[in-house]
Amino acid sequence: MDNIIASVYVKNRVKRYFYLFIGVLICACTYNIFILPYNIVFGGVSGISIIVHHFVGIKPSIVIFACSFVLCMIGFLFLDKRTVFRSIVGALLLPIMVELTSFLTNLVVIKDADMLTISIFGGVFYGLGLGIAYKYGFTLGGTDFITQIVHKYLKFTMGTSMTIVEGIVVISGAFVFGITNFLYAVVILYLMTMLVDKVILGISDKKAFYIITSKKKEVSDYVINTMGHTITVFSATGGFLKKKVSVLFTVIPTKEYYKLKEGISYIDSSAFFTVVDAYEVSGGE
């Protein structure tokens, strides 16, 4: 299994590092244009750097580097070494790019824009950059290490661990810059999360149907002959009654969702089916 993981990370190495650079560049530019000038503490070492810069005046890039270095060392003590090594590049590249793009803070001054607009653009672009880095197997280190440590030793889910760690930083920002900036930070966090998922998974243009029906043949014929799609039939056992049933599975374009949903209901009004987004379909005919 370790060899498989190693092969995955070696594959297209130049392309992966190129996209990491693009992702970090987008994050750094967004930080200097939309986030730092408005003191929006949205979590992570970037958020910590805004607080420290406010009180002490130290360059944010230096704070980000120092925090990332310390957290990397903590990661080596408590986490798998390979996990930490794969995060080092992003963790070190971020402060470098923040410093190289720091001139944008004074060069790009957004006038007559309300804070909500600033927050929306900040969340969208930072999420875009972060998503690109994640999509190609990298992270930007920083508080990700603490999140993984909380997950590993306190047995919280990754989502809960992230909420705890990032929440501490965001709430600290609320005490320093006020509740209004805190609310805008929440907007940025929400948009970042949404954009990261969209970049990694893409926008679903297909739906996957799982269908349990007493009229298996009629529904199959409708999918295959009328709609022109293939269907897979597999056996399942009900958890409560322990009754064996056949499950029909098919993937269709989203634009045909209504046609299949209503077709199933017309053929068998008591049919049970669930529909999920299919972000990627590979193989088959």
Contacts of 249 (CB under 8 A, 6+ apart): 208, 209, 210, 211, 231, 232, 233, 234
CA–chain centroid gap for 5, Å, is 20
Per-residue pLDDT, 84:
81
Dihedrals phi, psi of 211, to nearest 5 degrees: -125, 130
DSSP code for 28: H
Listed residue (179, 201, 188) closest to 44, CA to CA:
188
CB-CB contact of 243 with 252 (8 Å) = no
pLDDT under 50: residue ranges of the chain: 1
Give me the pLDDT at residue 59, please: 93
Segments making up each domain of the chain, as ranges: 2-201, 206-277
CB 129 within 8 A of CB 27: yes
For residue 87, the Cα-to-chain-centroid distance in whole angstroms is: 16
Residue 262 backbone dihedrals phi, psi, to 5 degrees? -70, -30
- Between the alpha carbon of residue 228 and those of residues 23, 221, 248, 260, the distances in Å are 40, 9, 15, 11
pLDDT, position 158: 65
SS3 236: strand
**What is the pLDDT at residue 258?**
87
CATH pick for 206-277 out of 2.40.50.180, 3.40.50.620, 3.30.70.120, 3.30.200.20: 3.30.70.120
| Mean pLDDT of the residues in the chain | 87
Q: What is the pLDDT of residue 10?
A: 66
pTM comes to 0.77
Given this model, what pLDDT does residue 166 score? 84
